[in-house]
């Protein structure tokens, strides 16, 4: 059993999302999912923080970063931007508004650029038709790599870290681990739902 969701399920969800005229709800849903997983991550993996509220060895919202762009495109990016701003510590947001906005832009636009580049390189259709587990794995890796590099350069240029490579390893590992955990959970949930659906009526 692969740890990734069935490609057909992801493809079907993508097609359904594009058929309904609920674009703003897609952005709102992305923001809510980001905030929910961000706070859940803070409670579950606080002991694994490398830098408080910034870098964690397990970062569940990274899965929202990838899946929202795959499914919703620019609307997912908008939701990521809003969700990121909403989860930046209030004192940092008030004291460093420009850096906070830059972090939100890196989180959302970086993911958008990474997913679009991966889809082009891997010849993935916008509808996600024919998306394979291997292709999704490559997308996840590229999104994690771009996010890690962009954020660490931003932290270094803003004087938050001494070098631009200080947090590369923990952030990349955290993003990949978060994606694996969330997507594996979705895979298990899909299988459970399919089995329940196939049960004969009592």
DSSP 158-193: TTSSSSTTTTHHHHHHHHHHHHHHHHHHHHHHHHHH
* Predicted TM-score of the model (pTM): 0.84
Tens of pLDDT along the chain (202 residues) come to: 344 444 545 555 555 555 555 678 999 999 999 999 999 999 999 888 887 767 899 999 999 999 999 999 999 999 999 999 999 988 888 888 999 999 999 999 999 999 999 999 998 888 888 888 888 899 999 999 999 999 999 988 888 888 888 889 999 999 999 999 999 898 888 888 877 777 666 5
């Amino acid at each position: 059993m692969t740890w990734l969701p069935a490609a057909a399920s992801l493809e079907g969800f993508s097609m359904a999302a594009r058929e309904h005229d609920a674009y703003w709800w897609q952005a709102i849903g992305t923001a809510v999912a980001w905030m929910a997983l961000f706070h859940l991550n803070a409670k579950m993996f606080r002991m694994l923080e490398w830098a408080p509220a910034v870098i964690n060895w397990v970062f569940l919202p990274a899965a929202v970063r990838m899946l929202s762009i795959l499914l919703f495109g620019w609307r997912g990016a908008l939701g990521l931007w809003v969700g990121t701003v909403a989860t930046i510590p209030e004192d940092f947001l008030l004291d460093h508004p420009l850096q906070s906005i830059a972090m939100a832009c890196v989180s959302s636009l970086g993911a958008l650029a990474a997913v679009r580049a991966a889809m082009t390189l891997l010849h993935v259709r916008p509808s996600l038709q024919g998306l394979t587990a291997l292709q999704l794995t490559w997308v996840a890796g590229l999104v994690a790599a771009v996010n890690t590099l962009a954020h660490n350069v931003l932290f270094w240029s803003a004087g938050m870290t001494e070098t631009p490579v200080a947090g590369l390893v923990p952030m990349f590992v955290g993003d990949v681990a978060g994606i694996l955990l969330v997507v594996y959970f979705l895979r298990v949930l899909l299988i459970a739902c399919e089995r329940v659906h196939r049960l004969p009526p009592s």
